[in-house]
Amino acid sequence: MTLASLVARTSAWFDLHARDLPWREPACTPWGVLVSEVMLQQTPVVRVEPRWRDWMTRWPTPAALADAPTSEVLRAWGGLGYPRRALRLQECARVLVAQHAGELPQGEAVLRTLPGVGAYTAAAVTAFAHGRRAVVLDTNVRRVLGRTLRAEALPAPHLTVVETRAADAVAPADDGAAARWAAASMELGALVCTARNPRCDACPVADLCAWRAAGYPADAHAARRRVQGWSGTDRQLRGATMRLLREAHGPVPRDTVEARLTALIGDSDPVRVDAVLAGLVTDGLAVAAGPGHLGLPA
């Protein structure tokens, strides 16, 4: 297999089958792309798209979000999960206003200095917002490259140096072609080369795939993967608390919050409940609002 064939076929497939997503429209600003990338972290497109549209209507620029009440930002985030992402977005907006004239700067190095922007997000914004070459490696791209190049059923739990070097070797040198490849390989992983039940019959590079040629070997990293449930976890308790605070018209009695969490746990565990609520306060997601009450930050 030649890497050029992998890129060319995947990119041509993308031209025909790419989903019509609002953050891919030519009129979408770099800020809109950044918001989409933050929202899409560990969250499926079907849940993100309506929330993104509402968010961009309310806060189409960093300046608009920077001036918004944090309580409204958290309410607008809704049930997307990991609400600290919303706080980081607002922090990012304030830094953009204070240090970059309200515009998203170009270049991965400077992007990574912004709150909430790590290596992946900086690369994605560089490719999708600015049309420049970047090695964009989300789970979908890692799976496509692992299967086609190394006959790996699924990528390792954590990104490896080998993967990064291989991805860099595949990405075209030309800015436009590299950005198109980044989007195309991501889309192929999301729609065709899925983790479960991949649609090899619809894959434009099936005959180039090392994993298929090897007879679909099993996941070599299966023993290293942790699958955490949801029911009864601290994440569920944090989410339930945030939902109560978002839906309330004012501060919520702490007794009400504790009763809700105790019902979810199935038994009284005041130490754990206290730890969950203290964690939300420490993370800036909740505040003490008068004696015996909790609320969203102002």
163 given a catalytic annotation: no
Q: How far apart are CA 138 and CA 159, in angstroms?
A: 9
Structure tokens at 97: 């206003």
Contact (CB, 8 A) for 219 and 49: no
* Burial classification of residue 180, based on how many CB atoms lie within 10 Å of its CB (0-12 exposed, 13-18 middle, 19 or more buried): buried
Quick one: which of 96, 57, 54, 45 has its CA closest to 77?
Answer: 54
Cβ-Cβ contacts under 8 Å for 90 (sequence gap 6 or more): 65, 66, 68, 70, 73
Which is catalytic among the residues 25, 37, 72, 108? Answer: 37
How far CA 174 is from CA of 11, 126, 134, in Å, comes to 14, 13, 10
- The CB density around residue 266, as the number of other CB atoms within 10 Å, is 9
For 21, phi then psi, to 5°, come to -110, 140
DSSP code at position 105: P
Scanning the chain, the segments in alpha helix (DSSP H) are 3-17, 30-40, 45-58, 62-66, 70-77, 84-99, 108-111, 119-128, 139-150, 161-170, 175-191, 210-213, 234-247, 254-265, 270-282
Q: How far apart are CA 260 and CA 278, in angstroms?
A: 16
Active site amino acids: 37
